[in-house]
Structure 1
Amino acid sequence: MLSQFFILSPRGDALVTKDFRRDLPRRTHETFYRTVRAWARSRRREDGEEDAEESAMGEHSREYSGAPAVFREDGVNYAHVKASGLYFVATTTRNASGSVILELLHRLARLVKDYCGALTEDAVRKNATLVYEVIDEAMDYGYAQTTSTEMLRERVCNEPVEIGGGLAGMLAAINLMNAASVASGVNRVSSSATQKSVVSASSATTRDEIFVDIIEKVNVTFNANGDVVTSEINGHIQVRNFLQGEDTKVKLALSEDLTIGGKGASAGGAYTGVILDDCNFHETANLDQFDIDRTISLRPPQGEFSLMHYRSADDFKPPFRIVPIIDESVPYKVGIELKLYADFNAKHTCTGCIVTLPIPKGAIGATARLPKHVTASTQHVMYDAAEKQIVWQFKKLPGGSDHECSVQISLQSERIPNVRREIGPLSLTFQIPTFSASDLAVRYLQVVGSSNEPRHRDDPPRNPHRWIRYMTKSSSYVVRI
């Protein structure tokens, strides 16, 4: 099916190249990258950007997202996915199914992450021999043989090169976990703890553990009056399994008040629990008890996989509100007061919150300022002349807090008709650790099987480490002005 497969860095460097059929030129990856860049430049010109601005901002610092996932160039069909900044690309001369190729690329990216430990340019470069071996075992003459991490473990012989310090890095991560536990009273784990291979170079560094991440992406649109127009949560439960023992079983229990199908409201219309519109599960999930007590049993495959995907369009409380107040009373000026409210519990802290406000294209410039009591170490606001937008950044934003920002826009004429239509819309990007927008929670996570039993009579019983983490991110968070 595939003629070629390659992995490219964000700069277009070929990290891995595999020519299955030898029916295409070997430099097709250069054609692909040039086409993607040209497509992105064309998209930016349509949005009013210029190449001079691109070079000033840094050519490779932006996402080249203009090209479609599947396209045809010079008689060659290209399909690609982007994972952690790396391009996973396939070429073919046949009229193959684009959706099948994209799914295959996603699975190959997951395989590379499972065996390298992390999906980064450095990890792929240092484990190039291992990556080639994995691709050789997963593909044969361009056809997929298997994308199961568990099945490939019996065939892959190369050991991974540890990224991040090996045993020393793991001990540091363990110390960090213990320090966090003492400080907060809750077991927490660094995100780098999952960046390890499913195969270990040394049994001394192997930990019997499983990670369960509940990741939710929020889509919210507000109208000019501050009312919610559309709201949706797209979430998934991501599992990264490093448990030892082939017959190990896992039992995971979700919220007892979970309702699927949007039937969780009472007769008066009040919200009565966690409501999901639809969901689907991994093929290994045993759902015999799910309808009774919301528990899922499975024999988890090694490596990373998505146990559950779900969607909720039910009414939920958006984590942020922004109230813009526009003042057009001053000639040649437009004043905007922004008020940001963090409408989530104070025990949670948002990281990486960025508010962007586009200004009219005909504006001369803009200035923005924060209240005097605000320090530069907590938040910062600036005017990006190249993008013609105000950027308001927060390092950490605790729940239950509110913040203000004043913006003054300078105009070329005394008045601009319908100036409100040229301002905005406001957009937010953020992530809130330990927070679930849908209130979906894991009640308990049990590991049963021979991995809990001692290998020898004199060995102590093994106690697998179980980690559960929550993360809410913005997907499309827009406020119309």
Structure 2
Amino acid sequence: MIKSLFILNTGGDIVLEKHWQGRTGRNIITQFWKEITKENRTKDLPPIVRIRRQTIVHLRKYNLLYLIVADQDTSPLLFIEFLNRVIEVFSNFFSTEPTETSLKENLPKAFELLGEMVDNVFPVTTETSMLRDMIGATMKSTPNTIENSKKFGTLSSDQVGGLPWRRKNIKHSPNEIFFDVIESINATIERSGKCLSSEIISKIVCESKLSGMPTLTMVFNNSSILEDVSFHQCINLDTWERRKILDFVPPDGAFELLSYRSNRMQTQIPLYTSGRFNWSKKKRKGKFEIILQVRNSLIKSIDNVSVLIPLVRGCSSPAIKTSNGAVFFNDQTFELKWEIKKMPKNKEVTLKGSIKLPNKGEIPREKPVAIITFSIEGLCMSGLKVTNLNISQLKKKIFKGVKFISKSGNFTLKF
């Protein structure tokens, strides 16, 4: 049972609070914030925290901290999934990422959405398409009288179909459906360029604008690639278990069809990465070098490459030399950022630099870790392919397509 939802900013201030069972005191948030301070960083705190016989499930996204306060005997995994759906719904309704600014600008809408998503302390409606209909019905009613208040928030018979995620009598022109297979690679690379560990975390998202009640079937070249699969409720699980084929009637609009994990990488890591970082005790200096190169002939281009290096606090502005891209140094956070809009093919790019430590203080024992981000269109690192996509119950011309996107997840270089 969900008692309350709190959304905090990075300073611990409450941006939004919603209560479904009584009113949870803010002192529990104060205690939770002390736990964060103790751990120094939010991501180091376990996602489930027990405070005063209550469970707090938290999730951080877009520099906001989402917290659910619930009873101890409830399933935390359900609430983690619910928080993800809340963020997704906010994104769809705000038409932008739900940052602190956009959330404050859309507070009335956010409260209305949360009121529809949870009923009697249980999550009930998390589909964007259904919520659009419910919010639309609410907005059309004006509950200024007793008669009107009876109609407030109700749906017409046309809006309620046999499927909880899709209403009846949907009409679109043109009819189209597009899928994005987005694979994120988590990898740890050692200084020589050798990959120490890697895994692929992926999802298939969809934008559907189809009339009526269409039935889709999606066939993969090798479904055994998919591990730890989490399905949208529209998918027929019986068909998947028997034939490993996706059979579903899609929601209307944007939604996540499924998510999966894979440890099988059918191609080498697309961005070769190596580097070194050495401290000089006598000179109180640190010297570093990073080398990047595209080493996959199947890749057309690697875009939006970024290398972030957290340096020692109090160090001097680094002396930098790079063969490509732009370098920025933040003298408040002491972070060095190297950005390359488009990686050249068959050519190494390098970043070399040095920093000077303050005159006092110990030489750091540990070397920093470089955090690397990138994106690649048209590449599927797991080797997954959609071999067939059929749509039935719809006799109109349909535009359809599948796009593959590979990008970095938690991708780090250890010097």
Once the two structures are TM-superposed, the CA of residue 341 in structure 1 deviates from its matched residue by 1.0
Q: 1:285 to 1:224 in 2, by over 3 A?
A: same
In structure 1, the partner of 2:390 is: 446
Q: Aligned AA for 2:271?
A: F
Q: 1:442 to 1:123 in 2, by over 3 A?
A: farther
Instruction: Find 1:96's aligned residue among 56, 74, 79.
Output: 74
The within-5 A match list for 1:343-358 is: 343-345=295-297, 348-358=300-310
Any idea what the Cα deviations from partners look like across 1:205-252, whole Å, max 9, x if unmatched?
Answer: x8643331211111222234332221211112122434332x211222
Once the two structures are TM-superposed, the CA of residue 253 in structure 1 deviates from its matched residue by 3.0
Are the aligned partners of 2:6 and 2:68 in contact in 1 as well (CA < 8 Å)?
Answer: yes
Q: Give, in whole Å, the separation in 1 of the partners of 2:199 and 2:335.
A: 27
Once the two structures are TM-superposed, the CA of residue 41 in structure 1 deviates from its matched residue by 4.8
Residue 349 of structure 1 aligns to a residue in which SS?
coil
Q: 1:134 to 1:222 in 2, by over 3 A?
A: closer
Q: CA RMSD in A?
A: 4.2
The yes-or-no answer on 1:231 pairing with 2:181 is no
Once the two structures are TM-superposed, the CA of residue 317 in structure 1 deviates from its matched residue by 0.6
The within-5 A match list for 1:229-308 is: 229-245=196-212, 247-254=213-220, 256=221, 258=222, 260=224, 275-276=225-226, 279-286=229-236, 295-308=245-258
Q: Give, in whole Å, the separation in 2 of the partners of 1:328 and 1:13.
A: 40
In structure 1, the partner of 2:24 is: 24
The within-5 A match list for 1:85-234 is: 85-92=63-70, 95-121=73-99, 124=103, 128-149=107-128, 155-156=134-135, 157-158=137-138, 208-234=175-201
In structure 1, the partner of 2:350 is: 404
The yes-or-no answer on 1:317 pairing with 2:284 is no
Q: Give, in whole Å, the separation in 2 of the partners of 1:477 and 1:239.
A: 26
Q: 1:349 to 1:37 in 2, by over 3 A?
A: farther
Q: 1:116 to 1:428 in 2, by over 3 A?
A: closer
Q: Aligned AA for 1:319?
A: P
The yes-or-no answer on 1:71 pairing with 2:53 is no
Q: TM-score, normalised by structure 2?
A: 0.73
Residue 137 of structure 1 aligns to a residue in which SS?
helix
Are the aligned partners of 1:368 and 1:390 in contact in 2 as well (CA < 8 Å)?
Answer: no
Are the aligned partners of 2:56 and 2:68 in contact in 1 as well (CA < 8 Å)?
Answer: yes
Task: Say which is worse superposed, 75-84 or 296-305, in terms of deviation.
Answer: 75-84
In structure 2, the partner of 1:367 is: 319
Once the two structures are TM-superposed, the CA of residue 440 in structure 1 deviates from its matched residue by 1.9
Q: Aligned AA for 1:71?
A: V
More strand by share: 2
Task: Say which is worse superposed, 431-440 or 108-117, in terms of deviation.
Answer: 108-117
Residue 302 of structure 2 aligns to a residue in which SS?
strand
- Give the number of aligned pairs: 382
The yes-or-no answer on 1:476 pairing with 2:386 is no
Are the aligned partners of 2:230 and 2:260 in contact in 1 as well (CA < 8 Å)?
Answer: yes
Once the two structures are TM-superposed, the CA of residue 300 in structure 1 deviates from its matched residue by 1.4
Once the two structures are TM-superposed, the CA of residue 340 in structure 1 deviates from its matched residue by 1.1
Q: Give, in whole Å, the separation in 2 of the partners of 1:75 and 1:289.
A: 42
Once the two structures are TM-superposed, the CA of residue 422 in structure 1 deviates from its matched residue by 3.0
Q: 1:7 to 1:207 in 2, by over 3 A?
A: farther
Q: TM-score, normalised by structure 1?
A: 0.64
In structure 2, the partner of 1:394 is: 340
Q: Give, in whole Å, the separation in 2 of the partners of 1:87 and 1:216.
A: 25
Q: Give, in whole Å, the separation in 1 of the partners of 2:310 and 2:106.
A: 43
Are the aligned partners of 1:353 and 1:431 in contact in 2 as well (CA < 8 Å)?
Answer: yes
Residue 81 of structure 2 aligns to a residue in which SS?
helix
Q: 1:324 to 1:290 in 2, by over 3 A?
A: same
